[in-house]
Amino acid sequence: MTGLDTEFASADQSPGLLLWQVTNQWQQAQRAALKPYGLTHVQFVVLASLTYLAADGPVTQKALADHAALDPMMTSQVLRALESAGLVTREDHPTDRRAKALAVTTEGRALANRTVKAVEGL
């Protein structure tokens, strides 16, 4: 029986495995930091991204998804949860009849600013 046909002498030398391990540890730390705030990591990313983008005016779901590098359907699902929690609003876009204008509520902005400090502290 032969092992894995890899160019590395040991698994510990594989950049892919090391990146996987670091990513998992980072995500675990993110989840722990965000848990007291009642947000998942993806909810935080969407809320923080929207808070950042909304400073320049109305934000479309596509612009938000592109900025956060998220699938548009995932973005929509997360936005529904954030909207239900009173953290974001979706209204008719002022210049694009097909789009919704996303905005952060006062509560959402306050939460984004509290959680970004917790996340950046990691």
pLDDT of residue 43: 97
What ranges in the chain are assigned the alpha helix state H? 15-34, 41-53, 61-68, 72-84, 106-120
pLDDT of residue 2: 61
pLDDT of residue 4: 80
pLDDT of residue 57: 83
pLDDT of residue 13: 86
pTM of the predicted protein model: 0.86
Tell me how far CA of residue 69 lies from CA of 6, 7, 35, 95, 99, in angstroms.
Answer: 31, 32, 22, 24, 19
pLDDT of residue 22: 94
pLDDT of residue 117: 94
In the chain, the domains with their CATH numbers are 12-120 (1.10.10.10)
- With beta carbons less than 8 A apart as the criterion, state whether 37 and 119 touch: no
Encode the chain (122 residues) as per-residue pLDDT tens digits. Answer: 467 888 888 888 889 999 999 999 999 999 999 999 999 999 999 999 999 999 888 899 999 999 999 999 999 999 999 999 999 999 888 888 888 899 999 999 999 999 999 999 98
